[in-house]
């Protein structure tokens, strides 16, 4: 039984808002560190969260092309994490 | 009837996705060192993202965008462990010692 | 006149014989007296079991190569030195190899390295920077031996079915990907997709697949991989629940340990699948991978037990080597596991 007054779109938008709150929680780790790798890890998780938020918005606002952006963001996020971990090691060669 | 089942399925998937992302956020905040945090970060990547994206796929129904969602999940699953490994390895090469129970007793790390 | 000294790193390739021949010939052209240093660098620690086998193979290769040098030099004024590198240190990839060669060269006052173009530093090093670039980085001069390359020659130019298989597979993979992102019913996307997939497959086919494709085995592996995914997701769900309980408890009862696991999977792709699966499962995280030796960080004891039970390893063996291969003893029974102290990396 669908509760009256609540649409699926509103559920998605609400969930996206909650994911933003969780992302802000994780942002603490990106600011606090203490090591570069900690920040990097936090930013990487934030990136995954962003991808999820974009996908939820795509469903909530009924704009399927948001998913294209999410896809590109996921790939860029990966590149960012690998590139920065490569450069934080003095000798490089992380992969 | 079908609509009702779909609605509740979406609610349940999103709720569990939020729960696992919440646990992951707690872990990233609470755990003592970068290696331990990397474990819990993969929770957000796997179940948190996976369940939320499943909810999106269910809402969009059987159309083109759903294939995107599956593709997105596929990329997240392939790239994130690689990124986590790269971060952990760079931590190891920078000489960050893993936190253990003993090091807490000695009071070396916070 | 000072003797010309050259360093020849050896590995078990099809062109190693020609490389040795070239080193001797070109060296004798430049100088009257030649000192050839043959080295084999070991990517393993010598005290491990695989390491011992490799050490034996390396010694054999060295003595063969020394004979080749004497053969080629005839009565020429030549001295041969053979050395094993990496017995007391831990060489990981091209970078470590290059610096080991550099140290050796400095020690023996060598100015030139004669490099086998097929030289492979380590077993699964395709993703790393080439040994040539690393030698440049340490500032060691090298000369690449001009050898005939039967194997690669065939792959690049020949009409071999292997090349066709790679092109075929990559073409359809990239075409499929393009059409998923585009619109499979729109003629413009169909045409541009075919063009893009053609360019991609022609230019990248020989580096995308680092192993020969098998017309029967490769599709079967893909199907088995399809079976593996639900199993992996089930493992991930179980591990997620276990970790969630631990993290949400106020006392935070974790016990992080570094462990070493010698995985029994062969080749780069199965190892990648295994390492990625281990990292995807919360509670276990691959920190380093050197061929089969994985350094795994485990967060809670139950995750460590699961890892040592080797269920993921069996599943990966099932995907790549079939059902019979899956039935092996767990890493714990094989004695391939080790808990490292906190101070070690």
Nearest residue of A to residue C95 by CA position?
A: A93
Confidence band of B33 (pLDDT split at 50, 70, 90): confident
Share of chain B above pLDDT 90, in %: 0
Q: What residue ranges do the domains of chain B occupy?
A: 2-106
Which of C253, C256, C257 best probes binding to B when mutated, by most B CB atoms within 10 angstroms? C256
Q: Which residues of A touch C127 (CB under 8 A)?
A: 95
B49-101 tens-digit pLDDT:
888 888 888 887 767 777 888 888 888 887 788 788 877 777 777 766 777 66
Check residue A3 and give its pLDDT: 66
Q: Cβ separation of B85 and C236 shorter than 8 Å?
A: no
| CA dihedral sign, ordered C281, C286, C289, C292 | negative
Average pLDDT over residues C69-79: 76
Check residue C24 and give its pLDDT: 80
Cβ neighbour number for residue B39 with a 10 Å cutoff: 31
Check residue B32 and give its pLDDT: 78
Q: B49: alpha, beta or left, given left = phi > 0 and alpha = psi -120 to 50? A: alpha
Q: What residue ranges do the domains of chain A occupy?
A: 8-88
**Structure token pair of residue C241:** 């629940």
Give the whole-angstrom CA distance, residue C324 versus residue C134.
41
CA B75, B76, B80, B82: dihedral to nearest 10 degrees? -20
Q: Cβ separation of C180 and B27 shorter than 8 Å?
A: no
Give the whole-angstrom CA distance, residue C278 versus residue A65.
33
Which of A12, A41, A71 best probes binding to B when mutated, by most B CB atoms within 10 angstroms? A41
Share of chain A above pLDDT 90, in %: 0
Confidence band of C267 (pLDDT split at 50, 70, 90): low
Identify the CA nearest to C298 among candidates C320, C281, C310, C313.
Answer: C281
Which has more confidence, A51 or C145? A51
Share of chain C above pLDDT 70, in %: 74
Minimum mean pLDDT range among A63-77, B13-27, C8-22, C75-89:
C75-89
C33-71 tens-digit pLDDT:
778 888 887 765 444 445 566 777 778 888 888 888 877
In whole angstroms, how far apart are CA C271 and each of B73, C172, C313?
A: 22, 25, 9
Check residue B107 and give its pLDDT: 46
- DSSP reduced 3-state for C258: strand
Average pLDDT over residues A8-22: 86
Average pLDDT over residues C146-150: 67
pTM of the model: 0.65
Q: Cβ separation of C128 and A93 shorter than 8 Å?
A: yes
Q: Cβ separation of C128 and A95 shorter than 8 Å?
A: yes
Q: Which residues of A touch B64 (CB under 8 A)?
A: 64
Q: How close, in Å, is residue C125 to chain A by CA atoms? A: 10
C307: Cα within 13 Å, side-chain hemisphere: 34
Check residue C43 and give its pLDDT: 61
| C126 has a pLDDT exceeding 60 | no
Which has more confidence, C120 or C169? C169
Nearest residue of A to residue B14 by CA position?
A: A15
Q: Cβ separation of B36 and C254 shorter than 8 Å?
A: yes
**Beta strand C141-144 pairing with C257-262:** unpaired
Check residue C144 and give its pLDDT: 77
Check residue A1 and give its pLDDT: 61
**Structure token pair of residue A2:** 């669908």
Which of C254, C290, C301 best probes binding to B when mutated, by most B CB atoms within 10 angstroms? C254
Confidence band of B110 (pLDDT split at 50, 70, 90): very low
Task: Compute the C-alpha angle C324/C327/C333, nearest 5°.
Answer: 150
A35-66 tens-digit pLDDT:
777 888 888 888 888 888 988 888 888 887 88
- DSSP reduced 3-state for B88: helix
Q: Cβ separation of A93 and C127 shorter than 8 Å?
A: no
Q: Which residues of A touch C345 (CB under 8 A)?
A: none
| B21 has a pLDDT exceeding 60 | yes
| C153 has a pLDDT exceeding 60 | no
Which has more confidence, C281 or C44? C281
Per-residue DSSP letter, C126: T
Average pLDDT over residues C270-288: 80
Mean pLDDT, chain B, integer: 77
Interface confidence, given as ipTM, is 0.79
Q: Which residues of C touch B78 (CB under 8 A)?
A: 276
Which has more confidence, C15 or C266? C15
Give the whole-angstrom CA distance, residue A20 versus residue A25.
9
Average pLDDT over residues C191-218: 78
Give the whole-angstrom CA distance, residue C87 versus residue C124.
19
Which has more confidence, C255 or C234? C234
């Amino acid at each position: 039984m669908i509760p009256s007054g609540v649409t699926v779109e509103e559920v998605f938008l609400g969930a996206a808002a909650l994911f933003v709150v969780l992302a802000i929680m994780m942002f603490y780790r990106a600011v606090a560190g203490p090591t570069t790798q900690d920040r990097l890890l936090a930013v990487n998780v934030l990136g995954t969260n962003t991808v999820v938020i974009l996908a939820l918005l795509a469903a909530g606002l009924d704009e399927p092309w948001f998913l294209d952006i999410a896809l590109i963001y996921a790939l860029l996020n990966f590149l960012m994490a690998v590139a920065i971990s490569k450069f934080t090691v003095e000798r490089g060669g992380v992969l | 009837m079908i609509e009702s089942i779909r609605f509740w399925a979406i609610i349940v998937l999103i709720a569990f996705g939020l729960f696992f992302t919440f646990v992951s956020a707690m872990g990233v905040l609470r755990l003592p060192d970068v290696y331990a945090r990397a474990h819990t970060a993969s929770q957000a990547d796997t179940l948190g993202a996976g369940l939320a994206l499943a909810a999106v796929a269910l809402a969009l129904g059987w159309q083109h965008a759903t294939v995107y969602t599956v593709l997105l999940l596929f990329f997240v699953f392939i790239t994130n462990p690689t990124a986590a490994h790269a971060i952990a390895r760079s931590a190891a090469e920078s000489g960050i010692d893993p936190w253990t129970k003993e090091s807490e007793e000695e009071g070396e790390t916070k | 006149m000072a003797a010309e000294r050259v360093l020849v790193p050896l590995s078990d390739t099809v062109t190693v014989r020609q490389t040795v021949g070239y080193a001797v010939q070109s060296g004798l052209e430049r100088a009257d007296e030649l000192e050839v240093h043959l080295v084999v660098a070991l990517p393993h620690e010598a005290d491990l079991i695989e390491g011992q086998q490799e050490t034996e193979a390396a010694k054999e290769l060295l003595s063969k190569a020394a004979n080749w040098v004497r053969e080629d030099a005839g009565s020429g004024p030549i001295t041969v030195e053979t050395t094993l590198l990496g017995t007391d240190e831990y060489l990981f990839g091209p970078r470590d190899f290059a610096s080991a060669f550099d140290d050796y060269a400095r020690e023996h006052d060598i100015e030139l390295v004669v490099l086998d173009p097929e030289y492979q530093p380590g077993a699964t090093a395709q993703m790393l920077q080439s040994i040539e670039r690393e030698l440049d980085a340490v500032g060691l001069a090298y000369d690449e031996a001009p050898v005939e390359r039967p194997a690669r020659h065939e792959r690049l130019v020949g009409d071999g079915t292997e090349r066709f298989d790679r092109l075929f597979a990559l073409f359809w993979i990239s075409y499929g990907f393009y059409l998923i992102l585009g619109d499979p019913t729109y003629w413009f996307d169909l045409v541009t997709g075919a063009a893009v997939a053609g360019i991609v497959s022609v230019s990248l086919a020989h580096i995308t697949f680092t192993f020969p494709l098998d017309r029967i085995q490769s599709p079967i592996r893909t199907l088995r991989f399809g079976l593996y995914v639900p199993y992996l997701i089930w493992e991930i769900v179980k591990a997620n629940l276990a970790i969630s309980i631990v993290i949400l408890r106020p006392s935070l009862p974790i016990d992080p340990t570094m462990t070493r696991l010698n995985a029994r999977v062969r080749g780069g792709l199965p190892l990648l699948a295994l390492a990625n699966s281990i990292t995807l499962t919360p509670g276990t995280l691959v920190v380093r991978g050197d061929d089969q030796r994985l350094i795994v960080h485990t967060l809670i004891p139950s995750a460590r037990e699961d890892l040592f039970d080797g269920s993921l390893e069996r599943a990966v063996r099932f995907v790549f080597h079939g059902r019979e291969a899956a039935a092996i003893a767990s890493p714990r029974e094989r004695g391939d596991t080790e808990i490292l102290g906190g101070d070690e990396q």
